[in-house]
Amino acid sequence: MAPDVLLINPPDQKSKYKKYLNIRIPPLGILYIAAVLEENGISVEVMDCAADDTTYADIRERVEQTRPFIVGITSTTPLIDEALQSAEAVKMARGPYIVLGGPHATFLHHEILTENTPIDFVIKGEGEYTFLELYRMLRSGGDPGTIEGLVF
């Protein structure tokens, strides 16, 4: 069954930990979001591109295959370029809404939204329930402008 939501931890080509120690840190933020969505009956898939050495072409292919309704991408400051390239890959698949979250998006959301990016929404701060509310609002055709912690 294809997921309604695809959550992406972008490829990590520059982590010093990965290069020297082969340490892979789980993307806890998107895993928390996945847990809340699943608890509410929403099908979710997580792509941990950093752990699986997944490419942008793999992201595009996965979106084309599964056709999720919405894609969430996490963004730290060191990997913001990778997060935005992941969003480009998603958009090339002519697919879903794209949501960016994480520390970088929280503090620099205006910069992200004013640049020429394919990002539809930015979630500031903790995203578990904001993402759930956004999903429900978009599915019902409601106004996402009423959701606290959401910028677009």
The residue extents of the domains of the chain are 1-64+86-94, 120-152
pLDDT value of residue 14: 60
* pLDDT interval class at 88 (50, 70, 90): very high
Say how many residues make up the chain. 152
C-alpha 44/C-alpha 7 separation (Å) is 7
What percent of the chain is modeled with pLDDT above 70? 92
Mean pLDDT value of segment 20-27: 67
- Segment (H or E) for 103: helix 103-107
- Compute the mean pLDDT over every residue in the chain, rounded to the nearest whole number: 91
C-alpha 11/C-alpha 52 separation (Å) is 8
Mean pLDDT value of segment 113-126: 91
* Lowest mean per-residue pLDDT among 4-13, 15-24, 95-104: 15-24
pLDDT value of residue 13: 61
Strand partners, 45: 6
Residue 95, helix vs strand vs coil:
coil
C-alpha 46/C-alpha 40 separation (Å) is 16
